[in-house]
Amino acid sequence: MRDQARDGALRLLAAVEDGATLDEAAPLTEGLSPADRARARRLAREVLRRIDRADALLTPFLARRPRPQIMRILRLATVEMLALDEAPHGAVNAAVTLTRALGGKGQAASGMVNAVLRKVAASDQVWAALPPQRLPDWLRKPVSAAWGEAVTRAIEAAHEAGAPLDLTPRGETPGEALPTGSHRLPAGTQVSALPGYAAGDWWVQDAAAAMAVRLLDPKPGERIADLCAAPGGKTLQLAAAGAEVTALDISPSRLGRVAENLARCGLAAELVAGDALDWRPPQPMDAVLLDAPCSATGTIRRHPELPLIRDGAGLAELTELQAHMIDHALSILKPGGRMVYATCSLLPAEGEDQLTAALARHPGLTVLPPQAAGIGPDWTTAQGALRLRPDMWPERGGMDGFFIVCLRKSAEQT
């Protein structure tokens, strides 16, 4: 009988090696039961967080590097035993069975897999001494230049630890109440089984992502544009505050998810499918929220495949697009209006540098110091923006990496 969850995890890992994200690879596990599909994805994520660490442990036990299919099986069993506390006999037997299922070459390699993994099972102290997986150089260099080696290593440790489940409350909400207003539950919590899901009492949103709307501080009746709105957490926040929200996204299918979440929570917003750079409201907006397209490097603890499938190419085009979007957002904002610019990125080029350039391009544009509840003493930059990192709140489970700044347009600007 095939081990459906482990087999699914191996298919996901193979897809990532071919350059796919786990979301893009999800159809590979659609034939599994919901429980096996969830376990397959969890196993794949845990392996992706520790590939370098697993390889460092395995290499001394290998006479030569095995075929990719065999290497994936060895990595999976290693992570199961040494990171996920799987019983060694179960993990080893499952790995041998998966190897034999590969055919003749798998049958020939099964003895090696068994012998290697038995050595791995006895190497827990060596495993514990290995450092967390390093960021790729294209990302590690600017992160280290910005915050130093100690912070960089702490970020890498946070990436390996993964992410808990955060909820933004509207009504009665389960979980630990965080200082910023979000609620937190352990990773792996089944969302749809939680009380209040069907009633729309809360929605899933990382605590760092929720800070963008909290900095904007929407007021009832304000006309606010949420550019690049999907999957909709910020749109829900704005609507729950009583704002008249126009939510734009270039993807109609992703905008459909926003509509579903609004309906579940009993909230309303005008939804517009299209390019935010081409959209102009009938009259200038009171406020604009721009959660701009970015490298998503702040979400690695949720998407551990990103460092493995990206190389930093296209960053110049991304930052140019962000600058155009900032300029456009300001052009649809009324004089004296507020704009929040946010990116889920660890790169200063997509945050601090963008702010410096925007202030230079737009005389009279000012930074509004963050006033939201729960802001840590080390979260605010010298410019008055929020710089959130995965290593912050280590005692609570960290947060996604974000750059967020609230700007006011000059009352004289038109």
What percentage of the chain reaches a pLDDT higher than 90?
96
233 marked ligand binding residue: yes
**pLDDT digits 0-9 by tens, 43-59:** 999 999 999 999 999 99
Q: Is residue 145 part of a domain?
A: no
Q: Which of 106, 129, 152 is the last residue of a domain?
A: 129
> Within 10 A of 9 (CB to CB), how many other CB atoms are there?
28
**pLDDT digits 0-9 by tens, 191-217:** 988 999 999 999 999 999 999 999 999
Number of domains forming the structure of the chain: 2
**What is the full DSSP assignment across 23-69?**
HHHGGGGTTS-HHHHHHHHHHHHHHHTTHHHHHHHHGGG-SS---HH
232 marked ligand binding residue: yes
Per-residue pLDDT at 374 exceeds 90: yes
Residue 184 and residue 172: Cα distance in Å, rounded? Answer: 13
**pLDDT digits 0-9 by tens, 233-283:** 999 999 999 999 999 999 999 999 999 999 999 999 999 999 999 999 999
122, 215: one domain = no
Per-residue pLDDT at 1 exceeds 60: no
* Catalytic site positions: 344
Per-residue pLDDT at 414 exceeds 70: no
Which residues form the domain of 248? 165-408
Strand order of the β-sheet with 183-185 is 176-177, 183-185, 165-169, 202-204
330, 398: one domain = yes
119, 202: one domain = no
Closest CA to 237 of 282, 287, 191: 287
pTM of the predicted model as reported, rounded to 2 decimal places: 0.94
234 marked ligand binding residue: yes
Which residue(s) pair with 169 in the sheet? 202
231 marked ligand binding residue: yes
Judged by DSSP in three states, 293 sits in coil
Q: Is residue 134 part of a domain?
A: no
Predicted pLDDT at 412 = 79
Q: Which of 129, 148, 175 is the last residue of a domain?
A: 129
- CATH number assigned to the domain comprising residue 32: 1.10.940.10
197, 317: one domain = yes
